[in-house]
Amino acid sequence: MIEIPLLMFLAVCVFLLAGFPVALTLAGVGLVFATLGTLLGVFDVSYLSAIPTRIFGTIGNETLIAVPLFILMGNILERARIAEDLLKNMAQLFGGRPGGLGVAVILVGALLAASTGIVGATVVTMGLLSLPSMLRAGYSPSLASGTICATGTLGQIIPPSIALVLLGDVIASAYQRAQLQLGVINTATVSVGDLFIGALIPGMILVGLYLAWVLLVARIWPEKAPAVQSEGASLGELLRALVPPFLLIMLVLGSILAGAATPTEAAGVGAIGALLLALQRGGMDWAKLHEVGLSTMRITSMVFLILIGAAIFTLVFRGFGGEELVQTFFERMELGPQGALLLVMATIFLLGFILDFIEITFVVVPIVGPILLAMGFDPIWLAIMVAVNLQTSFLTPPFGFALFYLRGVAPEGLQTSALYRGVIPFVGLQISLLVLLWAIPDLVTWLPGLLRGQ
C-alpha cells in the first residue's frame, strides 16, 4: 500500500508524456487506482463520496471566479491590438539607442503580462509582435528570442496573475491545515491580494534584472542589439498608447492594495475597463467580441476541468495515505526546514518540465504545502518562491513550456540552439532572484505586512 501513491504519480507522468489530456489523465488515474484499490481491499471507497462536494466547491469558489474575468480582460486587450500600438510607440521612443528595442519589448511585455496573467498568451503575443521586428533590426537571434521568452514568463509573477490567483487559494487552504496540525487556532487567513502585494517587489526586481542584462549586452556587444532608425514617437502618441492600459492595471491593483475590492471584484472592474478601452479605440467589433468570448470560454473550461481532475486525483492520493507517506519521508530524511524546502523546490522545478502550473498548484502544493508551512515558513513567501521557481522551470531548456510556445510562432529561420542560448542568461537571472528572496524574505513579506499594519 505504501508504494501506491508513488505509482499514481508515475502513472500521471507516463500518460502526460504520451500526450493524453491533462485533466482527463489526473481524474482517470485517480479513479482507476481507486477502483483497483477497492477491489484489492486497500482503499476506502467512501472517499469517493466527497467527489461531488469537491467539484461543486471548485466551481462555486468565489476566489476562482477571478480567473475567467482576468482571462477576459487579457483577451480583450490582445484582440483590440492595444499591445501592438503600445509596442510600436515604445519602440520609436527607445529604439534609437543600442538595446532600446529590447528595452521596449521588456517594458511592453511586463505590462502585457500584468494584463493577461497567462504565460503562453504573453509569449505567443510578444513572439508574433516583437520577434520579426527585432530580427529585422539586426538583433542577435539568441538575444531576441531569449528576451521575448523571458518577458513572456513574467505573467507568472507580475500581478494580477492567474497563477497567483490559483496559488493563493491553495496556499490559504494549506496554511489552515498546517495550523490545525500544530494545534493552533488562528483566524488570520492568506488571501490572493496578499500574494499580489508580495509579488510586486520581486516582479519589479526581475524586470530590472532583465533590463540591465539587455543594456549590458548592448554596451559590450553593440552589434547584437543595434540602434534602430525610427521617426520618433510624439509625446501625445506615446501617452495615448501608454496611459490607458497603465491606468487600467493600476485601477485593478490599486483597488486590491487599498482594500477597496477583492481580487474577484477587481477582475470584474478590469474586464469592463478593458472592454470600454477597446470600444473607445475602435478596436472591437461584434466579430472580435465573439472571438474573445469563445477564447475566454475555452481557456476557462480548460482551467476548471484541470482543477476538477486535480481534486479527484488528490482525494484518491490522500485515501491511499499519500500525505502521510510524504510527511514520513521528510521526517526520516532529517533534512531540517531549509533542506526540506530545497528538496521540494528542486522537485517542483523538475515537475515544471512536464506539468503546467495549474497541475503543480493543485496536485503538488496541497501535499507538500502543509508540511512546509508547519515547519514555520511564511505562507506568502512560500507561495512567491514556488511561483518564481515555476517561472524559472518554464524558461529552462530543453523542456521549458515558454520555449515550446515561442518555437511554435517563431520564423522558420530561427534555430532552436539560438533560442536555448538566448534564454540561459535569463535563467541565471531567475535563479539569482530565487537566491535573493531566499536570503532576504523581507523582499516578499515587508510590503504585505506594512499594508496590514503589522
CA distance 277 to 77: 8
CA distance 37 to 403: 39
Is residue 1 over pLDDT 60?
Answer: no
Q: In the predicted model, what is the mean pLDDT of residues 302-316?
A: 85
Residues in the chain, how many?
A: 454
Identify the sign of the CA torsion 58, 63, 66, 67. negative
Q: In the predicted model, what is the mean pLDDT of residues 375-395?
A: 91
- Residue % of the chain over a pLDDT of 90: 19
- 249 vs 144, more confident: 144
Nearest to 86 by CA among 249, 226, 197: 249
CA distance 74 to 68: 10
**pTM (two decimals):** 0.86
* 379 and 190 Cβ atoms separated by less than 8 Å: yes
DSSP string, 281-328: HT---HHHHHHHHHHHHHHHHHHHHHHHHHHHHHHHHHHTTHHHHHHH
Average pLDDT, the chain: 84
Q: Which three cell numbers stand for residue 54?
A: 469537491
* Maximal C-alpha separation, the chain: 75
Backbone angles phi, psi at 339, to 5 degrees: -65, -40
pLDDT at 186: 63
Is residue 185 over pLDDT 70?
Answer: no
CA distance 415 to 441: 39
Mutual orientation of helices 4-17 and 286-319 as an angle, nearest 10°?
A: 150
Nearest to 238 by CA among 78, 83, 84, 85: 85
Is residue 334 over pLDDT 80?
Answer: no
pLDDT at 117: 60
pLDDT at 214: 93
Identify the sign of the CA torsion 410, 415, 417, 421. negative
* 275 and 284 Cβ atoms separated by less than 8 Å: yes
Position 441 confidence tier, pLDDT thresholds 50, 70, 90: very high
DSSP string, 329-362: HHHHHT-HHHHHHHHHHHHHHHHTTTS-HHHIII
Lowest-confidence pick of 25-34, 167-176, 274-283: 274-283
Over the stretch 54-77, which tens digit does the pLDDT of each residue have? 888 877 877 788 888 888 887 887
Q: In the predicted model, what is the mean pLDDT of residues 268-296?
A: 85
Residues 6+ apart with CB under 8 A from 88: 241
CA distances from 12 to 33, 149, 293, 327, 344 (A): 11, 27, 32, 21, 19
The angle formed by the CA atoms of residues 368, 205 and 86, to the nearest 5 degrees, is 110
How many other C-beta atoms are found inside a 10 Å radius of the C-beta of residue 232? Answer: 11
Over the stretch 115-145, which tens digit does the pLDDT of each residue have? 666 666 677 777 877 888 888 888 999 999 9
pLDDT at 215: 93
How many other C-beta atoms are found inside a 10 Å radius of the C-beta of residue 62? Answer: 11
237 membership: H or E segment, kind and range: helix 235-257
Is residue 381 over pLDDT 70?
Answer: yes
Question: What do you get for the CA distance between the two ends of the chain, in Å?
Answer: 46
